[in-house]
């Protein structure tokens, strides 16, 4: 009998291992199910992107001559769960076995472990070969180390892949890392090129209507949808980035600017994660640009490090540490997520910009996620579970394997330092250095107390003081602790009082649990 080849929504890849060795009678199953659309209340654009990518991918497989059974969300017989649809399809096709690819999320892996019992069929789970580092390879690397430093993992990935290498131990340019060249703010008057948009085609428009109908109360605007949803469009998005933004990607990687939601970033995370763009190809395209002389090494190396380094590393950490990883709360942060994370209604210009574009575009770039919404959550002591859920909801590229280590570990330090050796805490001075937000802000970034004081300032010092005992064990935190110790105690008291009043005000503004995000 036929094998049922299950392809999940974020597995829309020609090279997917579940499709290897397809027999003529085998059937591919793809199913749109409510359970996957609602396990968090994903941004409307994210659901539209996944469903549209799925529909396009099904058509692509059919064009390749494969048999595809595709269940739509509004199919009356749809059980609306993955397990239910797999069981139904197994019966429908008289399948004798099930073949799938390792899923991206722990939650789905647990579900898949029940498929054998539910169907009475053997389930073969194959490696997700779209990643460069296998889970075993990562475990072997991690097993020998006390500290899991991304930089050392990345160097092994460079050696093993040969990307940006001249000889086995010789990185291109004689250095592994050019990060110190990548810290510039956007110069006044410099206008970043607008990224290419991919306006919805008929398939995407259908899906958008479906999403508007089926998930009206999910967060986010649909109308600005411009994501690539096919491999061809994702390739074009990559080319557009390499030609127009890659050369300046390195220098302005950490910059932020009012009215510039994307700067020199690639906007390919959603395409990579849904499977329509191959990470090896993204690295190769950047390397080719360097070899042609079209992009400098600091930019190309910086970009490759994000994909070959960070992206593979966070996935490794996730599968190494789950399920315990998401339960930790090293800084004992318990505050509810303030309502302005959903509404964008805050007078802090940097937060308003980051949240506003997140609602409209399902996108914010790395420094906004880490140093604006993430930093605020860290300083204010927001509950990691609530913050993690917010990041899972709001971004088009959000999947737990990549979202969780970045949020729980890197931004919130809730993992106690697995991901990052110190908390990424910063005062308003950092935001002022890297952006122009402060100029138009209602608050004064130079003030740490008083009615107009930038909340990032008193919250930062309150955070350092609150966690002084713990931070004292970390040599990398010696500087701020020394500065705090030398400060006028009257000023410290004033900042801490103001922090308390501000945080009490946030509590009052937090929506009751279960409130719906709009
Ligand atoms: P670029 O800046 O152009 O980078 C190119 C690519 O490198 C990205 O597409 C991505 O695939 C990869 N990359 C860059 N940084 C990271 C990183 N830290 N971890 C993993 N991959 C990286 N990325 C996600 O894909 N999904 C998420 O849910 C997600 N949540 C995040 C939450 C927080 C709190 C933080 C600080 C970061 C998060 N990131 C996440 C990482 C990063 O912010 C996004 O990958 C990036 O902003 C996507 O936009 P881009 O394609 O324009 O990226
Ligand atoms: C994210 C998502 C959404 C919104 N919808 C579906 C769906 O209807 N059917 C499906 O197979 N997959 C969907 N996905 C992707 C899955 O949630 C994804 O496989 C897990 O997040 C694991 O990475």
Give me ligand 1 centre to Cα 366, in Å. Answer: 6
Tell me what pLDDT residue 510 has: 63
Does 393 share its domain with 501?
yes
Q: How confident is the model at residue 516 (pLDDT cuts 50, 70, 90)?
A: very low
Asked if 302 and 264 count as a contact pair (C-beta separation under 8 A), the reply is no
Give me ligand 2 centre to Cα 43, in Å. Answer: 13
The four Cα atoms 440, 266, 7, 388 give a dihedral, to 10 degrees, of -30
Give me ligand 2 centre to Cα 37, in Å. Answer: 7
CA 98 to chain centre: 30
Domain assignment present for residue 205? The answer is: no
pLDDT digits (tens, 9 = 90+) for 364-382: 999 999 999 999 999 999 9
Give me ligand 1 centre to Cα 13, in Å. Answer: 20
With a cut of 80, say whether residue 514 has pLDDT above it.
no
Tell me what pLDDT residue 494 has: 97
Ligand number, closest to the Cα atom of 279: 1
Does 291 share its domain with 355?
no
Does 285 share its domain with 365?
no
Ligand number, closest to the Cα atom of 413: 1
Does 380 share its domain with 496?
yes
Domain assignment present for residue 108? The answer is: yes
Mode of pairing for the β-strands spanning 27-31 and 3-6: parallel
Domain assignment present for residue 8? The answer is: yes
Spatial distance between the Cα atoms of 448 and 495, rounded to a whole number of angstroms:
7
492 lines ligand 2 (CB under 6 A): no
Does 315 share its domain with 261?
yes
Spatial distance between the Cα atoms of 367 and 351, rounded to a whole number of angstroms:
12
Asked if 196 and 237 count as a contact pair (C-beta separation under 8 A), the reply is yes
Mutate to test the pocket of ligand 2, among 4, 6, 10, 219 (most ligand atoms within 8 A of CB): 10
Give me ligand 2 centre to Cα 107, in Å. Answer: 11
Does 69 share its domain with 144?
no
Does 309 share its domain with 374?
no
Q: Nearest C-alpha to atom 48 of ligand 1 is from which residue? A: 269
Q: Domain of 97: which CATH number? A: 3.40.50.620
Give the ipTM of the model, two decimals please.
0.99
Total domains, the chain: 3
Does 140 share its domain with 88?
no
DSSP state string for 112-135 = HTTHHHHHSS-EEEE--TTSSS-H
Give me ligand 2 centre to Cα 104, in Å. Answer: 9
Pick from 69, 97, 126: which residue ends a domain? 126
Tell me if residue 256 falls in helix, strand or coil. Answer: coil
pLDDT digits (tens, 9 = 90+) for 20-42: 999 999 999 999 999 999 999 99
- Percent of the residues in the chain that have a pLDDT greater than 90, as a whole number: 95
HSE-up of 292 (CA within 13 Å, CB side)?
11
Can you read off the two tokens belonging to residue 117? 């019992």
Domain assignment present for residue 433? The answer is: yes
Mutate to test the pocket of ligand 2, among 50, 210, 401, 403 (most ligand atoms within 8 A of CB): 50
Give me ligand 2 centre to Cα 82, in Å. Answer: 9
Domain assignment present for residue 215? The answer is: no
399 lines ligand 2 (CB under 6 A): yes
Does 279 share its domain with 407?
no
pLDDT digits (tens, 9 = 90+) for 184-240: 999 999 999 999 999 999 999 999 999 999 999 999 999 999 999 999 999 999 999
Q: Domain of 188: which CATH number? A: 1.25.40.80
Domain assignment present for residue 207? The answer is: no
Does 152 share its domain with 78?
no
10 lines ligand 2 (CB under 6 A): yes
Give me ligand 1 centre to Cα 189, in Å. Answer: 27
Give me ligand 1 centre to Cα 484, in Å. Answer: 33
Tell me what pLDDT residue 507 has: 76
Say what angle helices 44-63 and 202-214 make with each other, to 10 degrees.
140
Does 414 share its domain with 307?
no
With a cut of 50, say whether residue 518 has pLDDT above it.
no
Where are any strands of DSSP class E within 349-479? none
Residues 6+ apart with CB under 8 A from 414: 328, 329, 330, 331, 333, 384, 408
Stated as kind and residue range, the H or E segment containing 239 is helix 231-244
Token pair 């997520």 is found at 337
Ligand number, closest to the Cα atom of 424: 1
With a cut of 70, say whether residue 517 has pLDDT above it.
no
207 lines ligand 2 (CB under 6 A): no
Mutate to test the pocket of ligand 1, among 366, 379, 399 (most ligand atoms within 8 A of CB): 366
Ligand number, closest to the Cα atom of 7: 2
- Percent of the residues in the chain that have a pLDDT greater than 70, as a whole number: 98
Pick from 272, 293, 321: which residue ends a domain? 321
Stated as kind and residue range, the H or E segment containing 98 is strand 97-101
Tell me what pLDDT residue 511 has: 59
Does 359 share its domain with 481?
yes
Ligand 1 proximal residues by C-beta, below 6 Å: 265-269, 272-273, 306-307, 310-311, 314, 365-366, 369-370, 374, 391, 395, 397-398, 402-403, 406-407, 410-411
108 lines ligand 2 (CB under 6 A): yes
Atom of ligand 2 nearest to the CA of 46: 4
| Domain boundaries, position 496 | 340-509
Atom of ligand 1 nearest to the CA of 249: 3
Pick from 102, 126, 150: which residue ends a domain? 126
Asked if 230 and 56 count as a contact pair (C-beta separation under 8 A), the reply is yes
Report which of 130, 172, 147 is spatially closest to residue 311, judged by C-alpha positions: 130
Mutate to test the pocket of ligand 2, among 9, 48, 52, 68 (most ligand atoms within 8 A of CB): 9
DSSP 8-class letter at 185 = P
Q: Return mean pLDDT, the chain.
A: 96
């Amino acid at each position: 009998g036929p094998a049922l080849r299950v392809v999940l929504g974020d597995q829309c890849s020609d090279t997917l291992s579940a499709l290897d060795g397809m027999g003529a009678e085998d059937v591919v199953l793809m199913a749109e199910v409510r359970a996957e659309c609602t396990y968090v209340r994903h941004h409307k654009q994210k659901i539209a992107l996944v469903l549209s990518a799925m529909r396009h991918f099904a058509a692509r497989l059919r064009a390749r001559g494969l048999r595809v059974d595709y269940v739509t969300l509004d199919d009356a017989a749809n059980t609306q769960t993955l397990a239910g649809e797999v069981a139904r399809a197994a019966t429908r096709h008289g399948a004798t076995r099930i073949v799938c690819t390792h899923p991206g999320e722990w939650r789905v892996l647990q579900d898949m472990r029940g498929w054998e019992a539910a169907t009475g069929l053997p389930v073969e789970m194959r490696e997700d070969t779209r990643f460069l580092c296998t889970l075993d390879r990562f475990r072997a690397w991690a097993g020998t180390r006390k500290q899991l430093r991304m930089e050392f993992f990345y160097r092994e990935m460079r050696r093993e892949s040969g990307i940006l290498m001249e000889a086995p131990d010789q990185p291109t340019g004689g250095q592994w890392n050019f990060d110190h060249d990548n810290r510039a703010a956007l110069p006044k008057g410099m206008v970043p090129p607008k990224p290419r948009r991919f306006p919805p085609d008929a398939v995407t428009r259908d899906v958008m209507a479906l999403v508007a109908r089926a998930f009206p109360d999910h967060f986010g605007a649909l109308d600005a949808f411009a994501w690539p949803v096919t491999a061809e469009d994702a390739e074009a998005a990559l080319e557009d980035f390499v030609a127009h933004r890659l050369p300046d990607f390195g220098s302005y990687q950490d910059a932020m600017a009012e009215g510039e939601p994307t700067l020199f970033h690639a906007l390919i995370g959603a395409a990579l994660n849904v499977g329509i763009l191959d990470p090896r190809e993204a690295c190769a395209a950047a390397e080719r640009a360097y070899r042609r002389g079209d992009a400098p090494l600091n930019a190309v190396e910086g970009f490759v490090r994000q994909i070959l380094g960070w992206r593979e590393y966070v996935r490794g950490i996730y599968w190494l540490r789950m399920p315990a990883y998401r339960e930790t709360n090293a800084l004992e942060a318990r505050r509810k997520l303030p309502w302005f994370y959903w509404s964008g209604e805050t007078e802090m210009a940097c937060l308003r910009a980051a949240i506003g574009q997140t609602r409209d575009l399902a996108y914010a770039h790395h420094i906004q996620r880490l140093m604006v919404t993430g930093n605020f959550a860290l300083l204010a002591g927001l509950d990691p579970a609530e913050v993690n859920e917010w990041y899972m909801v709001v971004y088009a590229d959000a999947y737990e394997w990549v979202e969780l280590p970045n949020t729980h570990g890197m931004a919130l330090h809730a993992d106690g330092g697995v991901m990052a050796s110190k908390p990424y805490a910063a005062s308003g001075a950092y935001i002022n250095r890297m952006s122009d937000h402060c100029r138009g802000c209602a608050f004064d970034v130079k003030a740490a107390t008083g009615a107009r004081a930038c909340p990032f300032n008193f919250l930062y010092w309150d955070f350092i003081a609150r966690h002084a005992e713990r931070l004292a064990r970390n040599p990398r935190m010696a500087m701020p602790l020394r500065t705090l110790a030398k400060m006028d105690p009257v000023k410290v008291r004033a900042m801490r009082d103001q922090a308390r009043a501000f945080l009490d005000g946030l509590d009052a503004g937090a929506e009751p649990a279960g409130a719906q995000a709009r």
